Structure 1
Amino acid sequence: MAFPCPQLLLILIVTLIAASEADLSATGGAKKKTFVFRVDHRAKPSVFPTHAQWYASAAFSGGGATPLPLLHVYDTVFHGFSASLTPAHAAVLSAHPSVLAVFEDRLRRLDTTRSPQFLGLRNQDGLWSDSDYGSDVVVGVLDTGVWPEHRSFSDRNLGPVPSRWRGACETGPGFPVSLCNRKLVGARFFSKGHDASFVGGGGGINQTVESRSPRDADGHGTHTASTAAGRHAFRASMAGYAAGIAKGVAPKARVATYKVCWKGSGCLDSDILAGFDRAVADGVDVISVSIGGGDGIASPYYLDPIAIGSFGAVSRGVFVASSAGNDGPTSMSVTNVAPWLTTVGAGTIDRTFPADVILGDGRRLSGVSLYSGKPLTGSKYPLVYPGKSGGLSASLCMDNSLDPKTVAGKIVICDRGSSPRVAKGHVVKDAGGVGMILANGLSNGEGLVGDAHVLPACAVGYSEGDVIKAYVASAAVPTATIQFRGTVLGVKPAPVVASFSGRGPNGLTPSILKPDLIAPGVNILAAWTGAAGPTGLDSDSRRTEFNILSGTSMACPHVSGAAALLKSAHPDWSPAAIRSAMMTTGRLDDNRRKPTTDESTGKPATPFDIGAGHLNLDRALDPGLVYDIATQDYVAFLCAIGYDPRTIQVITNAPTACPARRPAAEDLNYPSISVTFPAAAGSAANQSRTVRRTATNVGSMADAVYKARVEMAKGQGLEVAVTPRKLAFTAGARRQRFKVSVTATAEGDGGPRFAYLVWSDGSHEVRSPIVVSWIQPL
């Protein structure tokens, strides 16, 4: 399917908007919005010294004495600018011959100690030792900023800042330049998109809680930055939970923060792009982006600032990790699916924070909690479920939905959904409740995450919630209490794919399997801001040095930190080689040595849930073979999915010519293999496709022979043939090509089918998932 040029799309859309706004103009003027313009920077007339001067000139804007009101000017990963304009004015500018594309600013949300050991990292051994703990690699974190005084960002015993570093420490209220150091080597903030949104009638930045500086008022950015690269912090805990030594995956890597998200206001595309642009210009080696895909639906790559910004970064050798989104376990819920991104889902670790609900009839139901206040001491209290008679809002414990006469002095059952989990506890407490049981809905299943509730509270799974509600409905005088059991280590099974983790298939380009892999993302302890309580709610006056959070936002920086270690150990590896090393060595089993399971179903996880497996840094240091990808390979992929040269230039920032014979998207040299067949009436059998891959030997032995084998459960209805079945590498031939032919046989039920290709030389196992699925042609 051919995709139309985005410029034409915008003209069609904006023309309609402009027509409707003619009426607005007659009654007081059209409302301004922020637009991002992608410009062919090569077209700049030589009379203008800089691109910014050209963009602001009458020659560019079409006349008039008033300069174009530029917000951001992009000149590294993206060339162009953002500006606050009426849609009619944007439509005029979109017709400029040098404008490649225009898109309206969109709001995005954040995908919100023991995990390094769970990844296989050990002191004085393996990847930590071989990489010198990531020393001198710079990790750029696009998030909510940083709490710079935190001891996780201490520069004690670190060497000088790498001489190649070009970043800066931007100042603001309460943020002098002295707060940056040899660990926190850079800190910037980007607010022009939000400022323009406020002027245009949007929310803007809440300056009663925010600081116009890189300082983190939210906590999310401090948590992700310290997860990736925090220093060793002894006696760390969250109110006694998860006590121990907190440390990031790459403890000696340098951190540069780019505040593109603001507390309560989210993250705007124009500011995200500015953060990418500046980070790459500053000289970061790795970028970590725990930001969701807007409305949960994957945008075309040429309209996605994370896809565009990350392409510019990866093409300059910068590794980019992104979160897979928290909309699981729904199929096709994964976001940030561009093939040059490393997309990270979330799994559990072998630590939990159990709490039990003890019913009046003696039954004990398991849950989790991070409540740290005065316990209920075993006393039983009346138990009530407002949803029994109070309607949907009362069942969800929404604001002003609970009648104090009904809940005062009682433990209240609240259904999960619609409002933050911790906010429900505030509602119950304000109505006089003494405790809360937070019950999962069907979509959440049995997946549980701990929260630092403001009153005694426990989260329970869907089945336990049903048992408790049935007890309330049947008992004459239902009562209960909650017992908190602290921190438990050595939990089995682990990892388990978190129920909330974004799932495949890839809804934008099914020929690329996403997510790529999973990493620890449930109940993760890391540094926290001094400006917010552990719940993050404005009404929470508590303060904590460390906090425990869950989400693919927490999984993403584990991979960012891992990339820093691998980059330090192998400075010549490309971003694609680093991703390949992580993917082909991923773990598929849990700590019981059984297949990793899906929390939402209890069944073995598939590649749509787990990607290539769970991050396993014990093996990623020495993967044997990698599947490398160059910039021109990504361009060929974009040609393969039907983008025309002008559309591709929106992403790549370079003129492109697609070959007369369109390449196959499945032939991108990806570490996983995803084959799609058209879903036709009748049998799905006897359909076949061949994909091509190139393996590069990065092992210590230049002369190596790898043999192929295919692993597949019985009844998959697949035949997989590998040609050749043996790859011989030498010092002069470190790259070898092969083909994989996949045929759907008469067996199977028409659903997705899975297998694994493994190349082995006796000491390395290079594993790639194979996914076969059927899609309905558009």
Structure 2
Amino acid sequence: MSRLPFFLFLCLFSFFTASASTKQGQVYIVYLGEDAGAKSKGAILDDHHALLLSVKGSKSQLIIQTLSLWFTSEEEARASLLYSYKHTLNGFAALLSEEEATKLSERTEVVSTFRSDGRWSPHTTRSWEFVGLEEGLSQGWLPSGAHAGENVIVGMLDSGIWPESRSFSDEGLGPVPARWKGITSIITSTEGQTVTPYQLPANRTYPMVYAAHAVVPGTPANVTNQCLPNSLSPKKVRGKIVVCLRGSGLRVGKGLEVKRAGGAAIVLGNPPMYGSEVPVDAHVLPGTAVSMAGVNTILKYINSSANPTAYLDRSRTVVDVKPSPVMAQFSSRGPNALEPSILKPDVTAPGLNILAAWSEASSPTKLDGDDRVVKYNIISGTSMSCPHVSATAVLLKSAHPDWSTAAFRPRHALDPGLVYDASFQDYLLYACASEGAQLDHSFPCPASPPRPHELNYPSVAIHGLNGSTTVHRTVTNVGEHGARYSVAVVEPMGFSVKVSPTSLAFARTGEKKSFTIKIAATGKRSRRLKMKYLAGSYTWSDGVHAVRSPVVVLVA
């Protein structure tokens, strides 16, 4: 009988806390074999502590007697434990000396002990390396070192955080800046667990059923494959792997419905609108998510087999997924419906499947009946992108305290060469022109404010052009004295783009230069281009810096 394997990917978590007594050790992985499920998680953790105590006890007691240090052998053993693996496999990661690792490898209950060389970096934390903010690393375009970001206060607006999480610890930071007018709280944290992966027994196959073939009578035809609450028949689902599709309802709610009906696991597939984007969820039962192409293959198999079966393979870490980076499906690609004169997306940052701090007052799914308590969860959205942008802004602001917020936009933001600056008044005028809104009572809107696309933005977006228009821009030299830039243009199809002047010479840093961009329709355009967006660009270059600005035109 044919079997169809599915893979449930789980990112392994790395932890790097240690007391002063263990800082000189190396990270070792101690493997004790597969987790048979006979012991509770607390009992497994106690076993790990006991093993560490067995190799650290004699040495620590000797140190205590000769140097009268304050720590005990048990404290050192606990401090050396970095992480306990209690699901799928039994083992732990710890800071050990070579001698201690050798002693552990000689124990009968230890299968193997090997040093962790960091070859399998956690996929969920690679976003910081991607944007050049990994601790100890520098890509040249951001400041690094002990004082990077010093004395900068960042305010983030969000729906809430869990301040007790160690992710928000200020250990190692200096005192709160005197300029801070808010409230500082000192909060203790409690023990919990990371995102819990439920597993099916290894290499055991299960019957598989498509949700649309297992619904109760009366389920609306358009949602039979959605695994919505009380839609599945326990008689048809019990003990099976159920294939559901995303769409209506919560993704984790679909898993809850499969569990309610007695299903063994869930395979959550993408409909066409979600394509290849696969989100990660803390399901309440074993499960995995697959792309549109993946679920189509699965459904073809189900429809061609009288008794389809499948199994969920053991989890493994996958890195260097291609293509990447890509814009998340749920993130707006534009055009900007509120103000078409502002091109979007504007600023993007990693925000899909990010391992992040989680409130211990809420379960990872927020579903009734989910009683799990976790310190971390896999989360997606602007709440994940915002910390990446904020961290970048901190470092940039510390390096350039005199720059305005509007200047922090180019990719090579530490040394962009030229920036497009805009003042508070510029944005008030933009609001007047765009919405007719007077945002500041001390600044009345003029009778004829500048057009919205005249905001000094590093991109140009023209809505409904049928003729020609001229746009004004001003750049500020933040590079070397005596810089000289020339412009190169890529014209949108059917339009000419003329930049005047074609070169800019700066005598000093901080000097501003203005120029115009004239965009004009050229000849007849085919009817199929009507109400279509056409893209081009112009780039200022001095041989070192290349400052590119997109030009997008909506054909009238």
Question: TM (normalized to structure 1)?
Answer: 0.51
Match in the other structure for 1:165 = 180
Match in the other structure for 1:114 = 126
Q: Is the 8 A contact 1:393 1:401 kept in 2?
A: no
Matched residues in 2 for 1:486 and 1:238: separation?
Answer: 16
1:415-434 equivalences under 5 Å are 415-434=245-264
- Please report how far the alpha carbon of residue 238 of structure 1 lies from its aligned counterpart in structure 2 after TM superposition: 4.7
Match in the other structure for 1:766 = 547
Write out per-residue CA displacement over residues 304-347 of structure 1, whole angstroms, 9 at most, x where no aligned residue: xxxxxxxxxxxxxxxxxxxxxxxxxxxxxxxxxxxxxxxxxxxx
Match of 2:493 among 716, 739, 759: 716
Match of 2:444 among 628, 639, 656: 656
- The answer to whether the aligner puts 1:539 opposite 2:369 as a matched pair is yes
Q: Is the 8 A contact 2:143 2:414 kept in 1?
A: no
Match of 2:198 among 373, 385, 408: 373
Q: Is the 8 A contact 1:237 1:525 kept in 2?
A: no
Distance 1:557 1:378, change over 3 A: same
- Please report how far the alpha carbon of residue 429 of structure 1 lies from its aligned counterpart in structure 2 after TM superposition: 1.0
Match of 1:408 among 238, 244, 251: 238
Matched residues in 1 for 2:472 and 2:554: separation?
Answer: 18
Write out per-residue CA displacement over residues 640-664 of structure 1, whole angstroms, 9 at most, x where no aligned residue: 3361xxx41xx223241414x4422
Match of 1:155 among 156, 165, 170: 170
Amino acid at match of 1:384: V
Match of 2:507 among 714, 725, 730: 730
Match in the other structure for 1:635 = 428
Distance 1:771 1:624, change over 3 A: same
Match in the other structure for 2:537 = 756
Matched residues in 2 for 1:471 and 1:445: separation?
Answer: 19
Amino acid at match of 1:428: V
- The answer to whether the aligner puts 1:674 opposite 2:461 as a matched pair is yes
Amino acid at match of 1:179: I
Distance 1:733 1:417, change over 3 A: closer
- Please report how far the alpha carbon of residue 149 of structure 1 lies from its aligned counterpart in structure 2 after TM superposition: 2.7
Match in the other structure for 2:469 = 689
For this pair of structures, how many residues does the alignment match?
419
Secondary structure (helix, strand or coil) at the match of 1:753 reads strand
Write out per-residue CA displacement over residues 90-136 of structure 1, whole angstroms, 9 at most, x where no aligned residue: xxxxxxxxxxxxxxxxxxxxxxx221111123526442416934222
- Please report how far the alpha carbon of residue 733 of structure 1 lies from its aligned counterpart in structure 2 after TM superposition: 7.0
Uncovered stretches (5+) of structure 1, i.e. residues with no partner: 1-112, 170-176, 181-214, 216-235, 240-370, 586-618, 679-683
Match of 1:620 among 403, 407, 413: 413
Match in the other structure for 1:221 = none
Distance 1:152 1:767, change over 3 A: same
Write out per-residue CA displacement over residues 554-585 of structure 1, whole angstroms, 9 at most, x where no aligned residue: 1222112211221111111111112xxx3x32
- Please report how far the alpha carbon of residue 532 of structure 1 lies from its aligned counterpart in structure 2 after TM superposition: 2.5
- Please report how far the alpha carbon of residue 509 of structure 1 lies from its aligned counterpart in structure 2 after TM superposition: 1.4
Matched residues in 1 for 2:402 and 2:279: separation?
Answer: 39
- Please report how far the alpha carbon of residue 139 of structure 1 lies from its aligned counterpart in structure 2 after TM superposition: 2.1
Distance 1:730 1:538, change over 3 A: farther
- The answer to whether the aligner puts 1:703 opposite 2:482 as a matched pair is yes
Secondary structure (helix, strand or coil) at the match of 1:652 reads coil
1:484-523 equivalences under 5 Å are 484-523=314-353
Matched residues in 1 for 2:509 and 2:165: separation?
Answer: 50
Distance 1:472 1:148, change over 3 A: same
Matched residues in 1 for 2:259 and 2:366: separation?
Answer: 17
- Please report how far the alpha carbon of residue 155 of structure 1 lies from its aligned counterpart in structure 2 after TM superposition: 2.1
Write out per-residue CA displacement over residues 678-706 of structure 1, whole angstroms, 9 at most, x where no aligned residue: 5xxxxx6xx2221110000111x122111
Matched residues in 2 for 1:146 and 1:641: separation?
Answer: 34
Q: Is the 8 A contact 1:626 1:695 kept in 2?
A: yes
Distance 1:622 1:412, change over 3 A: same
Secondary structure (helix, strand or coil) at the match of 1:637 reads helix
Matched residues in 1 for 2:166 and 2:494: separation?
Answer: 55
Match in the other structure for 2:360 = 530
- Please report how far the alpha carbon of residue 400 of structure 1 lies from its aligned counterpart in structure 2 after TM superposition: 1.2
Amino acid at match of 1:658: P
Write out per-residue CA displacement over residues 354-373 of structure 1, whole angstroms, 9 at most, x where no aligned residue: xxxxxxxxxxxxxxxxx722
Secondary structure (helix, strand or coil) at the match of 1:519 reads coil
Which is greater in Rg? 2
Matched residues in 1 for 2:551 and 2:145: separation?
Answer: 32
Match of 1:139 among 150, 154, 158: 154
Match in the other structure for 2:209 = 384
- The answer to whether the aligner puts 1:456 opposite 2:286 as a matched pair is yes
In percent, how many aligned pairs have the same letter?
46
Matched residues in 2 for 1:408 and 1:642: separation?
Answer: 56
Secondary structure (helix, strand or coil) at the match of 2:348 reads strand
Uncovered stretches (5+) of structure 2, i.e. residues with no partner: 1-124, 216-220
- Please report how far the alpha carbon of residue 724 of structure 1 lies from its aligned counterpart in structure 2 after TM superposition: 0.7
Matched residues in 2 for 1:556 and 1:147: separation?
Answer: 16
Distance 1:152 1:642, change over 3 A: closer
Matched residues in 1 for 2:350 and 2:509: separation?
Answer: 40
Matched residues in 2 for 1:521 and 1:504: separation?
Answer: 17
- Please report how far the alpha carbon of residue 167 of structure 1 lies from its aligned counterpart in structure 2 after TM superposition: 0.7
Amino acid at match of 1:634: Y
1:588-603 equivalences under 5 Å are none
Secondary structure (helix, strand or coil) at the match of 1:695 reads strand
What RMSD in Å do the two structures reach over aligned CA positions?
Answer: 2.6
Matched residues in 2 for 1:237 and 1:577: separation?
Answer: 42
Matched residues in 2 for 1:237 and 1:496: separation?
Answer: 31
1:45-124 equivalences under 5 Å are 113-122=125-134, 123=136
Amino acid at match of 1:765: A
Match in the other structure for 1:439 = 269
Matched residues in 1 for 2:205 and 2:493: separation?
Answer: 52
Amino acid at match of 2:187: L
Q: Is the 8 A contact 1:702 1:734 kept in 2?
A: no
Question: TM (normalized to structure 2)?
Answer: 0.70
- The answer to whether the aligner puts 1:178 opposite 2:186 as a matched pair is yes
Distance 1:472 1:733, change over 3 A: closer
Secondary structure (helix, strand or coil) at the match of 2:343 reads coil
1:309-328 equivalences under 5 Å are none
Distance 1:432 1:630, change over 3 A: same
Match of 1:744 among 508, 515, 521: 521
- Please report how far the alpha carbon of residue 674 of structure 1 lies from its aligned counterpart in structure 2 after TM superposition: 0.4
- The answer to whether the aligner puts 1:549 opposite 2:328 as a matched pair is no
Matched residues in 2 for 1:146 and 1:514: separation?
Answer: 28
Distance 1:490 1:462, change over 3 A: closer
Amino acid at match of 1:441: P
- Please report how far the alpha carbon of residue 393 of structure 1 lies from its aligned counterpart in structure 2 after TM superposition: 4.2
Matched residues in 2 for 1:380 and 1:770: separation?
Answer: 55
Matched residues in 2 for 1:153 and 1:639: separation?
Answer: 40
